[in-house]
């Protein structure tokens, strides 16, 4: 017997038929003798609808009321799933974030979880094997008693937090794909599903463009050592392979020690929402970099890749990337400090993409970057900027070469199935 948290996203609970399918997945685990808590998202499209209603009601609105509105989507789903389980003869009860409680800070719309009290859920496991159906994405700021929401993808974070609180053996994230792949199969048909991925690798993949898991959920899983299993909710719940002792199809996100021997490169990720900003003829003297990046930080603009050219005649160029949505705001932020910094011009481009090579095996292998640069040059792909970490190499290239670059690197590192 194991203790499981099962999380189902919006597409998995998009209508009553799919909610009943989710109930069958839960029933399978109950019949196998497991203790189960379920975390659900709002039905597909419902959160967008609620956000639109809020904006239609008022151009400027109270963020606390916004949270009260958008949190209702998960409340509906949790109640419907509890009803469906009860109809199957399974004891179940819906829980809202404030009822556990899931305690958060007061950053409405993007709150961070401070603690989760899972004592009552665990007690009910023992008392009547009751399934807890928990509304994801939401919590409560206890000093004010106000409902809070965790931001887009927050149900993943809710699920991992609940799993840590109740000391679950595993957190199963059910989604519309059957695991984590070496890259996007829509671009590389030969991409293969990974059996296991280390927390660090998944964190890099999630932050660099892979959309399978939300970044904050991976951070929390890594901190609390919550083994997380990504699997498909669209598999037949009664399929024989799901009822055997063997591992079902999916990808386990786990500690590095659980992976016997890692490949040098685990996967290739890409992010299209990058923009390049270049500042020309920047005086090359102490304090100038701070004068450039402090105003951006104060404006809450996240800067990623940074490249500074070698100084010539006392001047240098600084190139960096920001999210595309912040491109114009970044240029506008730097314009007022032009005279203070003394740079020449600001240039930029939004038709760029960041390609990232990820793998914990890089730590013990030389020449990984050289292979990538050589392969891209042979395809005539120019690199605009480069950034590296212990387990990641990222390059910025023209967006027109995205698919060619991903396919090339996927093949170069032997990831083709």
Asked if 318 and 278 count as a contact pair (C-beta separation under 8 A), the reply is yes
**pLDDT computed for residue 247 by the predictor:** 66
**pLDDT computed for residue 138 by the predictor:** 97
Taking only the tens place, the pLDDT of each residue in 201-222 is 999 888 876 777 888 999 999 9
Whole-angstrom Cα distance, residue 26 to residue 43?
18
**pLDDT computed for residue 288 by the predictor:** 83
Domains of the chain, each with CATH number or no CATH: 3-256 (3.40.1160.10), 267-412 (3.30.2130.10)
Cβ count near 12 (within 10 Å) = 23
In the structure encoding, which two tokens stand for residue 8, read together? 């189902």
Asked if 176 and 12 count as a contact pair (C-beta separation under 8 A), the reply is yes
In the structure encoding, which two tokens stand for residue 365, read together? 């292998």
**pLDDT computed for residue 351 by the predictor:** 94
CA angle, corner 298, sides to 297 and 302, nearest 5?
30
Strand partners, 103: 115, 140
| Low-confidence spans in the chain with pLDDT less than 70 | 209, 240-247, 261-262, 311, 417
Whole-angstrom Cα distance, residue 137 to residue 73?
10
DSSP label of 144: T
* Torsion from C-alpha of 246, 250, 251, 257, nearest 10 degrees: 0
**Comparing C-alpha atoms, which of 364, 416, 370 is closest to residue 393?**
370
In the structure encoding, which two tokens stand for residue 120, read together? 């009552």
CA angle, corner 169, sides to 265 and 204, nearest 5?
25
**pLDDT computed for residue 337 by the predictor:** 86
199 backbone dihedrals φ, ψ, rounded to 5°: -50, -45
* DSSP 3-state percent helix, strand, coil across the chain (nearest 5): 40, 25, 35
In the structure encoding, which two tokens stand for residue 345, read together? 């011009």
**Comparing C-alpha atoms, which of 54, 74, 68 is closest to residue 12?**
74
| Backbone dihedral region for residue 238 (phi beyond 0: left; psi -120 to 50: alpha; all else: beta) | alpha
């Amino acid at each position: 017997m194991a203790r499981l948290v099962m999380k189902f996203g919006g597409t998995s609970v998009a209508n009553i038929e799919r909610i009943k399918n989710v109930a069958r997945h839960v029933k399978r685990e109950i019949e196998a003798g497991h203790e189960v808590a379920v975390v659900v998202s709002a039905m597909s499209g419902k959160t967008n609808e609620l956000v639109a209603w809020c904006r239609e009601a008022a151009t400027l609105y109270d963020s606390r009321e916004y949270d009260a509105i958008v949190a209702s989507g998960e409340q509906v789903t949790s109640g419907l799933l509890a009803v469906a389980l009860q109809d199957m003869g399974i004891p179940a009860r819906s829980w809202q974030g404030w009822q556990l409680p899931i305690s958060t800070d007061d950053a409405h719309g993007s709150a961070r979880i401070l603690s989760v009290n899972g004592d009552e859920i665990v007690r009910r496991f023992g008392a009547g094997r009751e399934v807890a159906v928990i509304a994801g994405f939401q919590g409560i700021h206890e000093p004010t008693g106000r409902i809070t929401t965790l931001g887009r993808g927050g149900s993943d974070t809710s699920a991992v937090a609940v799993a840590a609180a109740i000391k679950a053996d595993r957190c199963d994230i059910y989604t519309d794909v059957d695991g984590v792949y070496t890259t996007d199969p829509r671009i590389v048909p030969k991409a293969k599903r990974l059996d296991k991925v280390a927390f660090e690798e998944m964190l890099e993949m999630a932050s660099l463009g892979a959309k399978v898991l939300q970044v904050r959920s991976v951070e929390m899983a890594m901190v609390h050592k919550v083994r997380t299993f990504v699997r498909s909710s669209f598999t037949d719940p009664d399929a024989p392979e799901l009822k055997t002792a063997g591992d079902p199809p999916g990808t386990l996100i786990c500690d590095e020690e659980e992976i016997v021997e890692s490949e040098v490169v685990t996967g290739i990720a890409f992010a299209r929402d990058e923009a390049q900003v270049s500042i020309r003829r920047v005086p090359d003297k102490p304090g100038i970099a701070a004068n450039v990046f402090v105003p951006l930080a104060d404006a809450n603009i996240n800067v990623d890749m940074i490249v500074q050219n070698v100084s010539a005649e006392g001047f240098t160029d600084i190139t960096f990337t920001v999210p595309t949505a912040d491109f114009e705001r970044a240029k506008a932020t730097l314009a007022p400090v032009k005279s203070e910094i003394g740079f020449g011009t600001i240039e930029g481009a939004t038709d760029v993409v960041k390609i990232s090579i990820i793998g914990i095996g890089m730590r013990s292998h030389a020449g990984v970057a050289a292979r990538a640069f050589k392969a891209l040059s042979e395809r005539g792909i120019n690199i605009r900027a480069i950034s590296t970490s212990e387990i990641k190499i990222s390059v910025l290239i023209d967006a027109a070469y995205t698919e060619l670059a991903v396919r090339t690197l996927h093949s170069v590192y032997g990831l083709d199935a």
